[in-house]
Structure 1
């Protein structure tokens, strides 16, 4: 995952979106971790990442070979896991989803944009 984070940060800097790097990296880490933990697929398939510039931000994609789609769930206060998608949902203003992809598996995506990051909401309130 360190290589995927570095690549994301380089892309954001090249696009003039370096201010989104911390939030985008956190979103990437949550999606990637979910793929590692929950995606069960053929051993010869890798988890792949893709970044696409969108108006005002970046679309972060994590591809895996598992056909099972993740779902946002409610967690109890004492549960140790299960909050990843809730965090992604909060950080992106609910701009995430799951899509089919070419071949087997799925891709989970999230859009990180200036208007959805916690920092931008605080700035607007001031």
Structure 2
């Protein structure tokens, strides 16, 4: 729980820093399939240049000002938490349009749990 909380806070903090006054952050939670849930954080902020997208989860990579006590470890930590718990983190972004972070969480359910019962005929 603590690490998931840290992931959510880090992503929300990044979104807040990326938007201007009047900007929006949208959080959606939906089943991805019968074994995973997806949580998406989308903002309409400044976006990330395409040449930087492949580096955003690398340790010590940052496009923020160096004087802001930013060490470029936030998204790396988020990626590591998601990976270590069997999940995934994907980043989609366009400059001047915004960024979406997609977190995939595995659902660890046992036979007979509510989700499985209500979706037993699903082929997802």
TM-score by length of 2: 0.55
Which structure dedicates a bigger proportion of its chain to strand?
2
Number of matched pairs: 90
CA RMSD of aligned residues (A): 3.2
Residues 50-97 of structure 1 deviation map (CA, whole Å, 9 limit, x = unaligned)? 112234342221111124226123229xx7532111111111117111
Q: Which portions of structure 1, spanning 4 or more consecutive aligned residues, are displaced by more than 4 angstroms?
A: none
Larger RCO of the pair (alpha carbons < 8 Å, separation 6+): 2
Q: Distance in 2 between matches of 1:90 and 1:80?
A: 18
Residues 97-124 of structure 1 deviation map (CA, whole Å, 9 limit, x = unaligned)? 12259xx322111112257xxxxxxxxx
Tell me the residue number matched to 2:35: 56
Which of 84, 97, 111 is the equivalent residue of 2:104? 111
**Distance apart, 1:29 and its partner CA:** 1.4
Unaligned runs of 5+ residues in structure 1 are: 1-20, 116-126
Larger Rg: 2
TM-score by length of 1: 0.54
Unaligned runs of 5+ residues in structure 2 are: 62-68, 109-124
- Does the C-alpha gap of structure 1 residues 60 and 26 become closer, same or farther in structure 2, counting only changes over 3 Å? farther
SS in 2 for 1:111: strand
Alignment of 1:32 with 2:12, yes or no, is yes
